[in-house]
Amino acid sequence: MFDKKASTRYPINQLLASRWSGRAYDPDKYLSGEDRIILAEAARWSPSCFGDEPWRFIFCDKSCNEKAWHKAFDCLSEGNQSWANNAPLLIIISSDTIFAHNDKPNRWGNYDTGAAAMSICIQATEMGMMSHQMGGFSTDKTRELFNIPERFTPMAMMTVGYQVNEDSISEDMKERELAERKRKPLDECFFDGEWGKGIV
Ligand SMILES: Cc1cc2nc3c(=O)[nH]c(=O)nc-3n(C[C@H](O)[C@H](O)[C@H](O)COP(=O)(O)O)c2cc1C
């Protein structure tokens, strides 16, 4: 197992630093039923606007529901299929566009759902697994195959599983998998009191 910790100016929480979007999964290592519930609990306790909990997660685990896993896999873009085939768990993430308490549009549903998805990523890191969120999938096909109601928006899909040994990473994946992680400079996105004035 190799890690690609974030390079930070000062130390940050170790789980945040350690999470990264790996693609090389071990095809022989599966999650347990308990593991799946732990991931769900991590997302369930996320904050949300009006406590609406607008997220819906469909877990498609190859080990116990191969049919659902294949259906989810078929919804992915070709590029994502090229590496996601070894991931034991695919999760379809949708968000509600309408508030439950007053039937008005919920303009924070996607925001809340993204935060809940990140909680799964962090929990997976804590459990020694990798996660990788994906926007590259067909929303129409996903909606149709999984009967997602009209008011919900399929936002993303996610892979979760265990990293394969570094020696077993295929040559075509190696360069991308081992590449250094990069971010924009701090002062490009983080401001001090006014738009554009870098925090550092
Ligand atoms: C909403 C969202 C959609 C993404 N879509 C894809 C995707 O379709 N395919 C892919 O390989 N990575 C995808 N990624 C992963 C990003 O490329 C990755 O998070 C980014 O490069 C930063 O790398 P890191 O997560 O390892 O820090 C997506 C990430 C997010 C949050």
Tens digits of residue pLDDT in 49-100: 999 999 999 999 999 999 999 999 999 999 999 999 999 999 999 999 999 9
User: Does residue 199 belong to any structural domain of this protein?
Assistant: no
User: Does residue 48 belong to any structural domain of this protein?
Assistant: yes
User: Does residue 192 belong to any structural domain of this protein?
Assistant: no
pLDDT 10s digits, 163-174: 999 999 988 899
Give the residue, by CA position, lying nearest to ligand 1 atom 1: 135
User: Does residue 195 belong to any structural domain of this protein?
Assistant: no
- Reduced to 3 states (helix: H, G, I; strand: E, B; else coil), residue 131 is strand
User: Does residue 171 belong to any structural domain of this protein?
Assistant: no
User: Does residue 185 belong to any structural domain of this protein?
Assistant: no
**Any atom of ligand 1 within 6 Å of the Cβ of 146:** no
Mean pLDDT of all residues belonging to the chain: 97
Q: What share of the chain is helix, strand, coil (3-state, %, to 5)?
A: 40, 20, 40
pTM of the model: 0.97
User: Does residue 80 belong to any structural domain of this protein?
Assistant: yes
Structural domain that includes position 28: 14-164
**Count of helices and strands (H, E) across the chain:** 8, 4
Q: Which two tokens stand for residue 49?
A: 């606007």
Q: What is the pLDDT of residue 1?
A: 61
* 101 Cα: distance to centroid of ligand 1 (angstroms): 33
Look at the chain and report how many structural domains it folds into: 1
Burial class (CB in 10 A: 0-12, 13-18, 19+), 93: buried
Burial class (CB in 10 A: 0-12, 13-18, 19+), 199: exposed
How many CB atoms are located within 10 Å of the residue 84 CB?
Answer: 23
**Any atom of ligand 1 within 6 Å of the Cβ of 20:** yes
User: Does residue 186 belong to any structural domain of this protein?
Assistant: no
Write the CA distances from 139 to 28, 76, 92, 129, 154, integer angstroms: 29, 9, 10, 26, 6
CATH number at residue 77: 3.40.109.10
Measured at the CA of 33, the angle between CA 27 and CA 34, to 5 degrees, comes to 115
**Any atom of ligand 1 within 6 Å of the Cβ of 97:** no
Measured at the CA of 75, the angle between CA 83 and CA 71, to 5 degrees, comes to 95
Q: How far apart are CA 84 and CA 177, in angstroms?
A: 13
* Strand partners of residue 130: 161
pLDDT 10s digits, 173-192: 999 999 999 999 999 999 99
**Any atom of ligand 1 within 6 Å of the Cβ of 136:** yes
